[in-house]
Amino acid sequence: PVLVVDFGAQYAQLIARRVREAQVYSEVVPHTAAVDELLAKNPSAIILSGGPSSVYEEGAPAMDPALVEAGVPVFGICYGFQLLAQALGGTVEATGAREYGRTEVKVTGDGGVLHEELPTRHPAWMSHGDSVTKAPEGAVVTATSEGAPVAGFENTERRIAGVQYHPEVGHSPHGQEVLRRFLHEIAGIRPQWTTASIVEDQIAAISAQVGAGRAICGLSGGVDSAVAATLVQRAIGDRLTCVFVDHGLLRSGERTQVERDFVAATGVNLVTVDARERFLDALAGVTDPEQKRKIIGREFIRVFEQAERDLKAQGDYRFLVQGTLYPDVVESGGGAGTSNIKSHHNVGGLPEDLAFELVEPLRLLFKDEVRRVGLELGLPETIVHRQPFPGPGLGIRIIGEVTADRLATLRAADAIAREELTAAGMDRDIWQCPVVLLADVRSVGVQGDGRTYGHPVVLRPVSSEDAMTADWTRLPYEVLERISTRITNEVAEVNRVVLDVTSKPPGTIEWE
């Protein structure tokens, strides 16, 4: 693999994704990992990420010089670029010429391998206080900028290179090309990480792990569990049984999507558990968001465990399939405590006392790779490109007590919003658009000749890369108008539609 050494910026995972877009497999490793550990992974190249520190700061994360002596190709980015320059005998200084944001980079000489034939002046994203003022001996300077005398250098013989700017972000339009050239041309790595190869490798790995055994997979309706289940089904056929829990907090059409569309596409064994009443009973009288989440999580696990016990009674189900993704793996290994803002409940969450062996066919994959695998496996677009939907479902989109009537109201309003967004071709522009029912708020309206006293719903369209931060989406007024007119005409209990124009932070995407 190509190892991306994480120096503490949020960019390491993005770099890993970009490397994979160049069809080269990559993994993120913490900067605290010892050189021996890194070399034990037999890396085809090492990329040093950016980071928030200054190389002079006391306690700034350092790089073991042994890393550049090991003969493995190395690429440095931003902070990693400065560490690399320093380790090879170049000079890094605080020149006072800081650069933040969009900056013009000038290609010098013939541009070397990295910058060859790129526009002589092109934009790139910078974020640095210190600068490399002298490149290490033997390295050719191929780019410069106003604040960075050395904005890129390379030593093709030693297969070492780097750039001061961030090639991994969208604001550096030639960044991907520069990364690709490092990987393919300087490091000499062959591009072999393709969707077809991922599918083939994963199916082989699952077959090897499960052998003649049987597996259970919880389906949520979302893309991750669907793709994980399909891969496993390809490997072990009808020795896989999928379990889908209908907790009554689903949106319109979701159960059909799983029971009909998913089964039609895969031919998988499916058991649906209808637990609608049980969840409604458990949620009766509850208005506190955290309490709702805890109850839904708890009931979900109980129902799922019962389904597992029932299946185990019928056969030797030893394996449990989970749709864990690579970012979760990186983050849980990352150590540093992130604060628990909301207790996230993941469908199929592993009950601690149940003896299962885990099968996690998506452990190495980013979300975009999961979607491509899903398409490769022939899953319908409606599943592959489904927007995120929280495990606790509509339960956390009713502000107030969750009741059957309120769920029906919200489900109807939500279906209209989704229909109109799809019809307007907005699905790929938005990350998701929760519709929230303010069930404890009433407002006066007028309809026909009568006064109404109904409830408002909130539209919460957001744009985001990863749900960690988000901005409210500027939906066209015509689309908003159609949604509002239809909801207030077609959903009797709703007489007002309002728009949430809060970014995240400070607002979260969901209201509860």
Binding annotation: 220-226
If one asks whether residue 385 binds ligand XMP (CB under 6 A), the answer comes out as no
Q: Which of 345, 367, 385, 442 binds ligand XMP (CB under 6 A)?
A: 345
Residue 57, Cβ density class (10 Å: 0-12 exposed, 13-18 middle, ≥19 buried) = exposed
How is residue 186 written in tokens? Answer: 């300087």
294 touches ligand XMP by CB under 6 A: no
31 among known catalytic residues: no
- Assess whether 78 carries a catalytic annotation: yes
C-alpha closest to that of 414 among 5, 273, 422: 422
Instruction: Give me the catalytic one of 31, 78, 247, 420.
Output: 78
Pick the catalytic residue from 168, 254, 360, 420.
Answer: 168
DSSP-derived 3-state class of residue 9:
coil
CA 395 to chain centre: 23
Q: Taking CB under 6 A as the rule, does residue 344 contact ligand XMP?
A: yes
Residue 346 found at the interface with ligand XMP (CB under 6 A): yes
Residues annotated within the binding site for ATP are 220-226
Minimum gap (Å) between residue 344 Cβ and ligand XMP:
4
Q: Is 342 in the site for ligand XMP (CB under 6 A)?
A: yes
Token couple for 505: 């932070």
The dihedral through the CA atoms of 378, 379, 380, 385 has a sign that is negative
In whole angstroms, the minimum distance from the beta carbon of 399 to ligand XMP comes to 13
Kindly state whether residue 350 participates in binding ligand XMP, applying the rule CB under 6 A.
no
Binding part of the chain for ligand XMP, among 162-170, 304-312, 383-391, 482-490 by CB under 6 A, reads 383-391
Residues 412-441 that bind ligand XMP (CB under 6 A): 432
CA distance 182 to 24: 12
Q: Which two tokens stand for residue 4?
A: 């991306």
Q: Identify which of residues 61 and 348 has a Cβ nearer to ligand XMP in the complex.
A: 348
Q: Are 271 and 244 in contact (CB under 8 A)?
A: yes
Asked about 455 being catalytic, the answer comes back as: no
Select from 138-146, 149-157, 356-364, 504-512 the region that touches ligand XMP (CB under 6 A): 504-512
Provide, rounded to whole angstroms, the least separation between the CB of residue 462 and ligand XMP: 8
Figure out which of the listed residues 55, 183, 198, 509 binds ligand XMP, where binding follows CB under 6 A: 509
Q: Determine if 391 is a binding residue for ligand XMP (CB under 6 A).
A: yes
Beta carbon of residue 338, minimum distance to ligand XMP (angstroms, whole number) = 12
Helix (H) / strand (E) containing 294: helix 289-314
Nearer to ligand XMP, 225 or 488 (CB): 225
Would you count residue 370 as binding ligand XMP (CB under 6 A)?
no
CB 410 within 8 A of CB 397: yes
Choice between 134 and 342, CB closer to ligand XMP: 342
8 Å CB contact between 465 and 479: no
Q: Tell me which residue of 348, 398, 373, 359 sits closest to 221, measured CA to CA.
A: 348
Q: Is 461 in the site for ligand XMP (CB under 6 A)?
A: no
Q: Which is nearer to ligand XMP, 61 or 390 (CB)?
A: 390
CA angle 207, 226, 364 (to 5 degrees): 60
Residue 436's alpha-carbon distances to 97, 171, 303, 417, 425, in angstroms, are: 48, 34, 26, 11, 22
Q: Which of 129/289 has CB closer to ligand XMP?
A: 289
The answer to whether the beta carbons of residues 435 and 415 sit under 8 Å apart is no
- Among the listed ranges 55-63, 156-164, 344-352, 483-491, the one in contact with ligand XMP (CB under 6 A) is 344-352
Task: From 136, 135, 141, 89, select the one nearest 113 (Cα to Cα).
Answer: 141
User: Which residue lies nearer to ligand XMP by CB, 139 or 438?
Assistant: 438
Binding-residue total with ligand XMP (CB under 6 A)? 14
Nearer CB in complex with ligand XMP: 175/395: 395
Question: Judging by beta carbons within 10 Å of its beta carbon (0-12, 13-18, 19+), is residue 385 exposed, middle or buried?
Answer: middle
Query: Using the rule CB under 6 A, which residue among 61, 218, 390, 461 binds ligand XMP?
Result: 390
Three-state secondary structure readout of 306-368: HHHHHHHHHCCEEEEECCCCHHHHHHHHCCCCCCCCCCCCCCCCCCCCCCCEEECCCCCCCHH
Of residues 31, 166, 174, 455, which has the active-site annotation?
166
Residues lying near ligand XMP in the complex (CB under 6 A)? 342, 344-346, 388, 390-392, 432, 467, 504, 508-510
Active site residues: 78, 166, 168
